[in-house]
Structure 1
Amino acid sequence: MGVVSERLAAISGAEAAIVALVDHGDPKTLVCEAVGGIDMAHWVGVRSPRRGLLAVAIDTQTPLIVADLPADERYDPPAEWRKAMTDVGMGMAIPLVASGESLGALVVVWRRGSDAERAARSEVDDVQMFATHAAAVLQRVRIQQQHARSDLWLEAAGQLARLLLTDVDRDHAMHTVSKRLQQASGADIVGVIIADAGDTTNVASVIFEGLETAAPPDMRLPRQGLVAAVLDSGEAIVSKDYTRQQGYDPPAQWSSEFAAVGLGMLMPMAVDGEVLGVLFAGWRRNSPHEQDAFTEAEQVQTFADLAALALYRIRSQDCHDQLVALQERDRLAREVGDTMLQRLYAAGLQLVTSHDLAAEPQLKRNLMTTMHTLDQASDEIRNVFFRKSPTEPGNEQES
């Protein structure tokens, strides 16, 4: 679009050639995509309401040619445009239409009384040709971008799935999820929040990418607001104006950074109906990825599902490791217990023999006391190493 505007301004002698596109995230808004001729590069990216001559041309898909632009009652440009174009006379607003869709408009203006203005009256068809080619280029670029973005999503999801099938720890797995999601979606902030089954008032922040204020692993956060709503309902929240979503209540230390978020998504990380956590993705207002990302909530949910499977797998592995450790500890305990009992039994036999051979009454009493102490020690060892666990069948405690 930069090439289109610059070349058109140079060939036609126009004061300015401007490409204004419809914001698909907000169809009532136009975005200045390119400016040629006049030195107003800072106009690029400026957003303005869809109104005036541009709105008429875009809505009707009809070219508008105005001999005295400032005198036309429909002339209602943004304030920045009006100041820079006080000397303009003739103007054209040519809609950019591709496959029946109005993508925006090409605006061309000439300085009042200039030779270029007089020549432009016979060049309407040439300007229209520029607009037609510009619309075709826009459509082709958008299709290419959509395909490239789709391929990026598929590639990232495939890489993530393969990685999470290997042995990775929780923090590394969640860090990988957030990085791959940022690469595929262009999200500015990505975070993973884990529910704690043993704590109904708090959650744990595992990773947050894109924040200036770093979040340490397992940072405890109150279980409240939108995060709590997703954990409780298992339903995703997708909002174009995240900071105005009912229940929005970010941690105080991140409130200023979250204030810039426009599109925000909270996706449940669930397995078999159990919500293990929440995956957050946020895009700053006017991010170049915001419009496309709004249509990709399903892909973001896929990442949340993969993260949930990784968490479930890691948790299952931890449980298995704990079970193996307990079994090994029980085996060692039994072996140690057997050895100790054998030694205590041998010591007891020696004491019985010494007791029978002893002639001193006091010595006999001392030996008998020691034998009772050994018997008590043997009973305690049996209770510690060989009693049933309270959770084993047949060993429930009576109330």
Structure 2
Amino acid sequence: MNDPARGIPLPAIDYAYLEETMLQLLAIPSPVGLTDAAVRYTAGRLEVLGIPYEITRRGAIRATLKGQAAQPARAVVAHLDTLGAMVKSLKPNGRLEIVPIGHWSARFAEGGRLTIFTDHGQVRGTCLPLKTSGHAFGGEIDTQPVGWEHVEIRVDLPVDDHAGLEAAGLNVGDWIAFDPQPEIQPDGYINSRYLDDKAAVAALLTACKAVRDHGLPLPVDVHPLLTITEEIGSGASAALHGEIAEMVSLDISIAAPGQNTSEHAATICMQDMSGPFDYHLTHKLIALAKAHGIAHRRDIFRYYRSDSAAAVEAGNDLRTALIGFGADASHAQERTHRDALEALTRLVIAYMTSEPVARRDCRSMGSLDGFTEQLCPGDMAVPATPLPAPESFLGER
């Protein structure tokens, strides 16, 4: 007999579809503010799967997988936007000063090939430190500082001054997308910029495909949500359905010294810089991973925030959790493994097909009946030494 909290046995996932979707998304530049093409691609993927969706004014996608009950509905969210850069000034030497889009270090931009999107076309270029050639600067190339003010864009045009850049159609405010440089190894390792969060988007779409392909029953409505401004902090602050009671964000998880994450597992995040995630939803995900034998780790990220934080800070009263694919070198040359993407996809399917945390959550307000409980009185530790009577704290009268 199936445990209703666990849901149904999980089907095999279509990993070829996941990999194809991820590579196609990586090939579409989508720094924050330049996401229309990625939105159109993802909408097309949903149409092929027969999943209805709506698009907000700016391009966030809100899809719907109908469940046996409409409420309490749940959302599973990933973001289409990536890091990038923008032209800050046209320099007298015929190169471009830039500023970042999103939060990332200039040390990972150095040497990157890129495309500049002008008002009328595209120009290729390279991001370089101000002092690049050892034959010209000697040891100074090793001692110059790191920072956005210490790099510039060399454009692949015959220009060497401000006027030449202007004549070529380059302007302050032009968007810049760095090449992702994806590489997939036969042993399952995947290297690329912007796995954050296009690998998670591919995992979410693959989970949706599994639901469709196998006719999996969903206890409640599920709303796949694709946001377009997560990298600048607003993310899922809009586009949520009012009836959504639970939201699980899918994002990159950080494998690094001092962290518990692995590139070969899904990560269930207990807390990030915005605070702890919902106790009941998080522990439900842990229980699902254990029940289905899904490789997983629990972790805490001190310098990290996600779509879940944006949703709560915007005033949405909903349970939130964060799960991700383990990866190395976030916001740099990122690396993950097929194992982590498969584990994340399976965990998403398990969540979609499981019972909600509390049926009471179909109402925004209610009585104590059906309210969740974290610590039962009988489970609480009893002090080894009995506490003194309240009067003893008052001293002698």
Query: TM-score scaled to structure 1, two decimals?
Result: 0.24
Q: Which has the larger radius of gyration?
A: 1
Which one has the bigger helix percentage?
A: 1
Greater relative contact order: 1 or 2 (C-alpha under 8 angstroms, separation 6 or more)?
2
